[in-house]
Structure 1
Amino acid sequence: MKDFLAIKKVTDRLGVEELKPYLRFILAEIQLIKEQEEPLEAAASKLIELYDELMGLQEKRAEWTPVPTCTHVHIVIGDSFAGGMKQALRGLGCTETHKLITLRENYAIGPINGLDSPEGRMARCNWFRNHITEAFEAYDEFEEEYIGLLDQLEQIPEQAEVMVWTSGNACEQAGMRHALYLLRNKRNSISVNDACAICEKLYNRPDAFITYRYSGEIPSEKLQEAIVRLDGKGKLCPSDITRLEREWQILTEQTGILRIWQDSTVLEVPAEYYDHYLLEKLDNLKPSAGDNGFLKSARLIGEAIGYCEQYIGASYFEYRLRELIYDGVLEIKGVPAAMRYYSIRRKQRYRQVEARECGL
């Protein structure tokens, strides 16, 4: 289990853009093995070399840590966006002067009450361990991550321009406010830039457009252009920074576990906010023939993510599915260790009750 956690920790910290080349290499090697075009010993040697490289990536992360000579520090929310931003900065050839700090939390879900205290971080860590299936991280690792973040922020030199990236979703908007709160004692020039809005303005046309829900969806080549086109309009004045810091403090006084972005506000909503939405999607999907009405949970969650206007994440939808199972609204076939391992359907008695309520 310890080795698995180490692997999970490394891969979790890689963005999608960073992981793709490794996945392609692994699949290509497997194909060569299947077609017997490469000896097993040679393939195993290559895969072990790849493993060693991946597990050593933690040391390579030091290249993104702020240094005394850097001119810009980009602060992003989420590993996926961080991967795209790294690719963009490499493409622009400015990794020596532009450094990157990543806030890895999904601020849309889980408790954030008192997050800047050890007790608050303990509560958040425990909630994830109790409700999110892939949350293996122990509290000491969670705390180490937070202390590491504070250390990176402290290393930002006075002359560097700090660029906090955000977009129109609760995760990045709350994360941006948290970043500004953590920067409250720094005297650097700070700007806030909406990555999705910038790229939509640059690339969307009446006959072809994309609406991004979070910055991790933006290809690195488009991010490059967004960085080049920044015009300084996002620079914050002291009163703006103070207001956003206070908004973060207000958020951390709330006790809920789900937040959405609505009317330019990070809004706390009930934990069951998306339950009806999930059930509607379930009713509209047709299970495969012979499955006795059971639908793969991964298919339902994929549908829910695809049509949801908010960026919430698959793990929260999967958590709510399990809650609906525990409450007797849904029945299960399989083991709820992960969404790919089980299927669900409405319980018959709930379908009958709803039919009576609708007068059918």
Structure 2
Amino acid sequence: MKKIEYSEIQISFSETTTYDLKQLNQKATSFWDDLSIGPIYHINTEVGQKKRQQWLFKNISFDEHYFSDFIQCLKEIHSIPKDLPITIWKGDCARDHLGLCFIISLLEGQNQIRVIHASKAYKELFHKDYEVFSTGQLSSEEISKIYEKSKENPFLTNLEKTNLKKEWETFLNSTNLLRVRKGDLVLSVEENHLDLFIIECAKKLDAQNSFCDAIRLIGTALDDYEQLIQDRFWEYRLRTLITQGIFKIEGSLESYSTYKVKLAIK
């Protein structure tokens, strides 16, 4: 069988996007780790990577094979030939921006790198009243049209790469557990940054007077918040608020589909 020669490689932060790109006969890989949550302090070292794994396993219920999977992902990125152009797909979410900064920091060679800002391209192409935060929200047809529109985007300049690497260094030296978007920026914030919003969502669901399903509360927070933060971090904060006595609980904490919560103070 003749080996296919690819003219570039696509990197996305969504496995569904990577699948869609492969269906378009593109060489594609995904960086699946959500660096917007959990510790990333010195994650460029083995100690930092293992501390992140331990925190995620304890608080977010990540797979125990996280570390080996993470190392394998790094090897794939490092193995990209230095003369092969790279296209990185990103949406308007902290996760994708952190992933972009991280990957740029890994690619110290001479790769030409272009970025497809999928959220922006979606607005320009489809004119729908629908906010796209992640490429994972896009259909395969939308991915195809965005690629055709954006495949000739200019490559990042050396200055743009340097600025992204400097930004990554700032994140790398922060001990905060959450990164969020603030306008066009991504900032490190305290882990309790979302707590008041969770309480407001609970009041919206009348949880100061009666128990409501935790899954419904988390779903409301996901839908109403102005940006994309994964459900497991929302539940981590809800469990923390339960521990702090802010919420009462009814049921089992086995998963957020098996318990209800009620505000302890009206």
Taking structure 2 as the reference length, the TM-score comes to 0.93
Q: Secondary structure at the match of 1:121?
A: helix
Look up the match of 1:358.
none
Q: Quote the Cα distance in structure 1 between the aligned partners of 2:82 and 2:102.
A: 20
Look up the match of 2:229.
312
Look up the match of 2:126.
203
Look up the match of 1:105.
33
Query: Displacement, 1:155?
Result: 2.8
Look up the match of 1:180.
104
Q: Is residue 167 from structure 1 mapped to residue 84 from structure 2 by the alignment? A: no
Look up the match of 2:145.
225
2:15 to 65, 82, 91: 82
Q: Quote the Cα distance in structure 2 between the aligned partners of 1:316 and 1:142.
A: 17
Q: Quote the Cα distance in structure 1 between the aligned partners of 2:123 and 2:45.
A: 37
Q: Answer 1 or 2: which has greater helix percent.
A: 1
How many residue pairs match? The answer is 263
Q: Quote the Cα distance in structure 2 between the aligned partners of 1:234 and 1:276.
A: 42
CA RMSD of aligned residues (A): 1.7
Look up the match of 1:13.
none
Check the 8 A contact 1:189/1:235 in 2, yes or no. yes
1:341 to 251, 258, 261: 258
Q: Which is higher, the Rg of structure 1 or of structure 2?
A: 1
Look up the match of 1:18.
none
Query: Displacement, 1:85?
Result: 3.5
TM alignment of 1:285-300, pairs within 5 A: 285-286=205-206, 293-300=210-217
Look up the match of 2:134.
214
Q: Secondary structure at the match of 2:97?
A: helix
Check the 8 A contact 1:177/1:248 in 2, yes or no. yes
Q: Secondary structure at the match of 2:12?
A: strand
Query: Displacement, 1:168?
Result: 1.5
The change in CA–CA distance for 1:101 and 1:84 in structure 2 (over 3 A counts) is closer
Look up the match of 2:201.
281
Amino acid at match of 1:171: R
Deviations 1:102-156 (Å, cap 9, x if unpaired)? 1111111101001111110111111112211x32x22xx3232232123212332
Q: Secondary structure at the match of 1:177?
A: helix
Structure 1 gaps, min length 5: 1-66, 352-360
Check the 8 A contact 2:22/2:28 in 1, yes or no. no
Query: Displacement, 1:231?
Result: 5.0
Check the 8 A contact 1:88/1:221 in 2, yes or no. no
Q: Secondary structure at the match of 1:339?
A: coil
Q: Secondary structure at the match of 2:186?
A: strand
Amino acid at match of 1:113: Y
Check the 8 A contact 1:196/1:218 in 2, yes or no. no
Check the 8 A contact 2:20/2:140 in 1, yes or no. yes
Check the 8 A contact 1:162/1:189 in 2, yes or no. yes
Deviations 1:286-338 (Å, cap 9, x if unpaired)? 46xxxx71100000000100011111110011011111110011100011111
Check the 8 A contact 2:214/2:261 in 1, yes or no. yes
Question: Which deviates more from structure 2 when the two are superposed, residues 229-238 or residues 318-327?
Answer: 229-238
Check the 8 A contact 1:113/1:252 in 2, yes or no. yes
TM alignment of 1:59-70, pairs within 5 A: 69-70=5-6
Query: Displacement, 1:72?
Result: 1.4
Amino acid at match of 1:235: F
1:245 to 165, 171, 192: 165
